[in-house]
Amino acid sequence: MFTTMGILLLVLFSSAQTKDEKAVADAVEQLRMAMVNPDKAGLEKLTSGKLSYGHSSGLVEDQKVFIEKLVSGQSDFVSIDLTEQSISISEKVAIVRHVLAAKTNDGGRPGEVRIRVLLIWQKEKGGWKLLARQAARMT
């Protein structure tokens, strides 16, 4: 029969992140911060050279264009908040889903966006790299 302490430990251990899940969550947070305060070297370190970055509008960019737009301010995130995040890992691939709510200032025009995002991360030497991202409008 379970004791109160036994139940508490079971709950704590069942909700604990694995080492890889924590590393992926950290990479997602680093990406969020790098999108708000763009740094070319940091963005290159977090993303794969084979990046496929899909917007909710259907536009798809490669790593070079994704980074150029952020660094130039053409794509300007004032703030980004992530909620409802889930992380699933299969060997060297991580699937992350979350809701992204952001304040933007693209082209000097203030705006707001709330979208669902799917991120695919691949474990490479040196850490987790963003391989693909697809956004979808909220319904």
Question: For the segment 11-26, what is each residue's pLDDT rounded down to a tens digit?
Answer: 444 456 899 999 999 9
Query: Residue 65: its pLDDT value, please?
Result: 98
Query: Residue 12: its pLDDT value, please?
Result: 42
Domains along the chain?
19-137 (3.10.450.50)
What is the rounded (10 degree) CA torsion for 21, 27, 32, 33? 130
Residue 79 has pLDDT above 80, yes or no: yes
Query: Residue 15: its pLDDT value, please?
Result: 53
Higher pLDDT, 107 or 66: 66
The 8-class DSSP code of residue 125 comes to T
Which secondary structure element, helix H or strand E, spans residue 70, and what is its range?
helix 63-72
The Cα–Cα gap between 82 and 51 comes to 21
Question: For the segment 87-125, what is each residue's pLDDT rounded down to a tens digit?
Answer: 999 999 999 999 999 999 998 899 999 999 999 999 998
CA 44-105-81 angle, to 5 degrees, is 65
Which of the four pLDDT bands, split at 50, 70 and 90, describes residue 28? very high
pTM of the predicted model, to two decimals?
Answer: 0.86
What is the rounded (10 degree) CA torsion for 43, 47, 50, 52? -90
* Residues 54-61, mean pLDDT to the nearest whole number: 96
Residue 10 has pLDDT above 80, yes or no: no
Query: Residue 126: its pLDDT value, please?
Result: 80
Residue 139 has pLDDT above 90, yes or no: no
Residue 100, beta-bridge partner list = 82, 115
Rounded to a whole number of angstroms, the CA Rg of the chain reads 17
The Cα–Cα gap between 95 and 85 comes to 10
Query: Residue 7: its pLDDT value, please?
Result: 46
